[in-house]
Amino acid sequence: MTIEQVWTSHYPKGISAEMEFADKTMPQLLSETAKKIPDHIAIKFYQKEMSYKELDLFSTVFASSLQQTGIQKNDRVAIMLPNCPQYIISYYGVLKAGAIVTQINPMLLENELLYLLNDSGAETIVVYEPLYPRIQAIAKETSLKNIIVVSFETEKTVLDQAVHFEAFVEKGTGKVATVAIDPAEDVAVLQYTGGTTGLSKGAMLTHRNIAVNALQSQEFFKDEVTFGEESCLTVIPLFHVFAMSSAMNLSILNGSKNILLPRFDLEEVLETIKREQPTTFPGVPTMYIAITNHPKAKEYGIDSIKICNSGSAPMPLETMKDFENQTGAKILEGYGLSEASPVTHCNPPFAERKPGSIGIGLPSTEYKVVDLATGEKEVPAGEIGELIIRGPQVMKGYWNMPEETANTLRNGWLFTGDIAKMDENGYAYIVDRKKDLIISSGYNVYPRDIEEVLYEHPAVQEAVAIGIADPYRGESVKAIIVKKADKDISEEQLIAWAKDKMAAYKVPRVIEFRDELPKTNVGKILRRALREEKNITNKISEIL
């Protein structure tokens, strides 16, 4: 595949817009790093440290333990853990055994877990001990045979249906039976999508998909990092595909120290930054919003961070400006999706950075914007359509969903479902998700357009716009707002302010103030949950 597109002209000499990828797996790349810097710290988890030599060895021992219990090639092993060393050991151990990692969100409840475990057919799960009762409650309705429990407590509780992680590892011989892996065909990870349009779908990411995506990112940022000298603050959860690639796998390629935190606690994050002085910090907009609004953010030495990758959700322009003004760090907004392992775009550190844009394609990544009606005609620069992508990081398909696969992968292209536009220089801009589009009085209203304006108001900390039923217009715009702690504004005042900033059909007709917004545990605002709430106050009749 030869890529000759306008965005490749932004690549400087020395950084490849098109790459040749060796057929290596992530475990092989881990072993290569361990040989180069065996004693370098790979993982820092509070007071505990693990070297690259130890990580490579421990994951091999875990792989042999899996094989001792009968795990074979292509068996699914679920991981349901917070960020911790055992997560990375398990992940790489599963891949070394030739099995398939099934990523599980630790926030899921029994009915959701039941679906994912039965859909994947997982027979083994590694689970955090406080979450074990959820698995215990549904185990008999699944195919689970092995439950491995991770506890951070010194005193271990007695388990009747499970085994502690340490005891499980002791079963291993440290010798892994050879498993023939075809990186391009064999699935490494089942990455379940959020299920926003029905049942969650398991994106089948091959060994090649995940290794290539880390290598693409490494090439893209190679002038910004030095092998063996960086440290990455990983607060975004590792079960999320963004963290898997941009925090865990990329850190291993770069020989970085991976500083793990199990959750985003603002004070803990800032204290960790002050103490550890990380050089990279992949995050989501809500994290940067929280840091920006901390009254003493500058005092924590956040300027140690060279690269702030922002992903998973759109970055409000005002947040970006505030964060950079306060800290001196730079945010590079990117884009990806589970179906692409996930990263496809990023604002380049080596060329113009365009706030509001997702940047340009990573090496060996093609993309275009096509018409919404047929998906067949490429639209001119500046016009809106659906973003489609082609590249070696694109998934093999959806697990046991041939119709969904055929609808999403067409003629080699991944149809993202995201409404986008591209400028004349090849920079892409996400306008919104197809399903988030609001149609009011026949006009297409894009929530992000409204949210960007609302974020400009000095009293607004967080904002989300949704469509609500309107008997006259079809839909009207409702905004849900979290105010800054030291600011106050009324619904009427904010609506009046918005009328001076945007077209009349875009102006929110209802504004609700809340103390917080529902979020995923990666920090992404759950717009779907807000749309589906049954108790939305209907104030439309008061306004008409």
CATH number at residue 175: 3.40.50.980
CA–CA dist 113, 123 (Å, integer): 13
Does residue 230 lie within any of the structural domains?
A: no
Residue 301 lies in a domain: no
CA pair distance 57, 43, nearest whole angstrom: 14
Instruction: List CB contacts of 530: < 8 A, sequence separation 6 or more.
Output: 464, 466, 480, 517, 518
Per-residue model confidence as pLDDT tens for the chain (544 residues): 444 588 999 999 999 999 999 999 999 999 999 999 999 999 999 999 999 999 999 999 999 999 999 999 999 999 999 999 999 999 999 999 999 999 998 888 888 899 999 999 999 999 999 999 999 999 999 999 999 999 998 778 888 889 999 999 998 888 999 999 999 999 999 999 854 345 789 999 999 999 999 999 999 999 999 999 999 999 999 999 999 999 999 999 999 999 999 999 999 999 999 999 999 999 988 888 888 888 888 888 888 888 888 887 778 888 888 888 877 777 899 999 999 999 999 999 999 999 889 999 999 999 999 998 899 999 999 999 999 999 999 999 999 999 999 999 999 999 999 989 999 999 999 887 766 778 776 666 778 778 888 999 999 999 999 988 876 677 889 999 999 988 999 999 999 999 988 778 789 999 999 999 988 767 778 877 787 663 343 443 333 3
Domain-terminating residue out of 161, 180, 199: 180
Report if residue 486 sits inside a domain.
yes
Residue 357, domain member (yes or no)? no
Give a yes or no: residue 311 inside a domain: no
Instruction: Tell me if 200 is assigned to some domain.
Output: no
Give yes or no for a contact between 388 and 415, defined as CB atoms under 8 angstroms apart.
yes
Burial class (CB in 10 A: 0-12, 13-18, 19+), 531: middle
H/E run at residue 43: strand 41-45
Cβ(323)–Cβ(329) below 8 Å: yes
* Residue recorded with tokens 């710290």: 41
**For the chain, what is the domain count?**
2
Is the residue at 117 inside a domain?
A: yes
* Burial bucket for residue 496 (CB in 10 Å: 0-12, 13-18, 19+): exposed
d(CA 214, CA 124): 27
Residue 518 lies in a domain: yes
Structure-token pair, residue 350: 């080596």
Of 157, 180, 203, which one is at a domain's C-terminal end?
180
| Domain end call among 145, 180, 215 | 180
The structure's pTM equals 0.84
- CATH number reported for the structural domain that contains residue 472 in this entry: 3.30.300.30
Measure the N-to-C terminal CA separation of the chain; round to a whole number of Å.
Answer: 57
Q: What is the span of the domain harbouring residue 490?
A: 437-543
Angle formed by the axes of helices 266-276 and 285-292, to 10°?
80
